[in-house]
Amino acid sequence: MTSRPAAGGGRWVEVDPARVGRWVEGFADRHGPPTTTPQEYGLLLAAPDGSTAELYAPPGSPASVDVAGFVTSAMVPRRIGLLLARKGAVAVGVAEGADLVVSKVDRQYVQGRTAAGGWSQQRFARRRDNQAKAALGDAAELAVRLLLPEAAALAAVVCGGDRRSVDTVLADRRLAPLVPLRAERLLDVPEPRHAVLVGAVGAARAVWIRLRDPAPERAD
């Protein structure tokens, strides 16, 4: 289980689907038995002390009306596509449940800075942009080879890395069948490598929970 601050308040917790039931029990023990309300993203748990937990269903998981149904659905092994991109690096894979069954990582050189006495700033910027575009073009080719043939079998496509790079890859017209499968979550990953791709499977399958503590009481 991992935790990080959430923009706008609260914090995010990532929980393996198999542990969600126990996590909810712990939440109830700490804050009191919560009320459960179905939401578009999953479930909202509201505790008597004012604490809330927003349970976001894993990509490809259908809506549920209660915790039991949510947990059962979240634990179903699904076939998902993975696309991680950061300028000169890309990792593409297909996961079956918790197992990465198809994978390919590619990295191309994108100049990071000018050498002393080298290119002018404008000339350097153009060269770097061209290198980045070429790398993302190759990334699209990789997605066409590995993800496009799987489109009919995928429950979702989960992306990670730099949003602009991912958007550029998926803008390739050949990848149009993958766009409706793209999950809302964007994984925060370092430069894509095979180990990063393997780790991304767990984050893609995890139940993301946004926790908010009670608002502090205002003194009169």
Strands 52-56 and 35-38: unpaired
Q: For residue 101, is it within any domain?
A: yes
Are 102 and 29 in a shared domain?
Answer: no
Q: For residue 157, is it within any domain?
A: yes
Backbone angles phi, psi at 111, to 5 degrees: -60, 130
Contact (Cβ atoms closer than 8 angstroms) between residue 157 and residue 147: yes
pTM as predicted? 0.83
Q: Which domain holds residue 54?
A: 2-76+206-212
Are 89 and 59 in a shared domain?
Answer: no
Q: For residue 219, is it within any domain?
A: no
Contact (Cβ atoms closer than 8 angstroms) between residue 118 and residue 128: no
pLDDT < 50 stretches in the chain: 109-117, 124-125, 127-128, 130-132, 134
pLDDT tens for residues 82-112?
A: 999 987 789 999 999 999 999 999 875 344 4
User: From edge to edge, which strands make up the β-sheet containing 89-96?
Assistant: 99-107, 89-96, 79-86, 156-161, 182-187
Q: For residue 218, is it within any domain?
A: no
Number of structural domains, the chain? 2
Are 88 and 188 in a shared domain?
Answer: yes
Are 55 and 140 in a shared domain?
Answer: no
Tokens 């002393």 correspond to what residue? 116
Q: For residue 7, is it within any domain?
A: yes
Are 71 and 114 in a shared domain?
Answer: no
Cβ atoms within 10 Å of 152's Cβ, excluding its own: 7
